[in-house]
Structure formats: structure tokens, C-alpha cells
């Protein structure tokens, strides 16, 4: 499913991420995916949240600089090779992937995790995922 991803530019200091997650939690916004990449002064935090409008409002209230882009959030069975099936099919179709990050579960199989994919053509990514999943269901 195509969702909004927020890329936050947070000061790299203790408590910066806590402040954001606290406000999202108070507003009953679930973080469906998160990736944090640090640099010396600023951390890039990518968040996919359950309510984009509320997330946008909170980030503005906190005066946190951010950008918004569309990504796709794909459920994948947590088994060896599941991600490989999708990205290999994307490569075969010559669909570029800008980045990938995922949720995780330590639960017993069959668990479902979600993969966040940023790509120039999200519709092709989702069509590929549908095709790969339909092969596994047969």
C-alpha cells in the first residue's frame, strides 16, 4: 500500500527522537516503519506513521524540519528469501529501488513483517509484489 513517509531532520542529541515519538504516541499515531541514519549534527529519521495528517501537524508544532514522500509498505512473510524474491523480480523488470528498510519480528513463523520501499515507480513495485506473492500462494 502506498503511504506517506516523513523524513525528519533532527538535531543529533539525546532526547530529540524521544520528543517526537512521545507526541506521536500521545496523539495515538502508530509508527509503522522507522529508519534513523546519523551524521555529526543532524540525524535523518524516516517515519511511516498510521495517520499522516496528525503526524504533519505534530511535526509543525514541534518546529521540526521535514519532507514528505510516497513510499510503498509491503507485507512479506518473515522467511528466508522473501525479500530476495521481490527485489530480484524488480531487478528483472529494471525497476530501480532508492532505499529499503523494514519492520521486524522475533516471533515464530509464519510472521509477517513490512518492508518500506522508496522507488521512482511505486505502482510497478506493488505490481511486482502482487505477482511474486501470487506465485508463493500456488
Helix (H, G, I), strand (E, B) or coil at 32: strand
> Of 52, 73, 25, whose CA–CA distance to 17 is shortest?
25
- The domain ranges of the chain are 2-69, 71-137
Taken in order 41, 15, 35, 72, the sign of the CA dihedral is negative
User: What architecture is the 71-137 domain classified under in CATH?
Assistant: 2-Layer Sandwich (3.30)
The single residue listed with the C-alpha cell 538535531 is 11
Q: How many CB atoms lie within 10 A of CB 132?
A: 19
pTM as predicted: 0.86
Q: Does residue 137 register a pLDDT over 80?
A: no
Grid cell listed for 79: 522467511
Instruction: Give me the pLDDT at residue 78, please.
Output: 81
Q: How confident is the model over 17-58, as pLDDT tens digits?
A: 999 999 999 999 999 999 998 777 889 999 999 999 999 999
Q: What is the DSSP letter of 28?
A: T
How far, in Å, CA of 92 to CA of 113, rounded? 24
> Regarding the domain delimited by 2-69, which CATH topology (the fold level of the hierarchy) does it fall under?
VC0802-like (3.30.2130)
Amino acid at each position: 500500500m502506498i503511504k506517506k513517509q516523513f523524513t525528519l531532520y533532527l538535531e543529533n542529541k539525546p532526547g530529540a527522537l524521544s520528543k517526537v515519538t512521545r507526541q506521536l504516541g500521545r496523539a495515538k499515531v502508530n509508527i509503522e516503519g522507522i529508519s534513523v541514519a546519523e551524521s555529526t549534527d543532524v540525524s535523518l529519521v524516516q517515519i511511516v506513521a498510521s495517520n499522516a495528517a496528525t503526524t504533519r501537524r505534530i511535526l509543525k508544532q514541534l518546529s521540526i524540519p521535514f519532507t514528505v514522500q510516497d513510499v510503498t509498505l509491503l507485507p512479506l512473510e518473515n522467511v528466508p528469501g522473501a525479500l530476495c524474491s521481490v527485489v530480484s523480480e524488480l531487478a528483472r523488470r529494471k525497476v530501480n529501488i532508492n532505499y529499503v528498510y523494514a519492520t521486524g519480528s522475533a516471533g515464530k513463523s509464519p510472521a509477517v513483517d513490512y518492508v518500506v520501499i522508496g522507488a521512482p515507480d511505486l505502482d510497478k513495485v506493488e505490481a511486482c509484489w502482487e505477482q511474486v506473492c501470487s506465485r508463493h500462494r500456488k
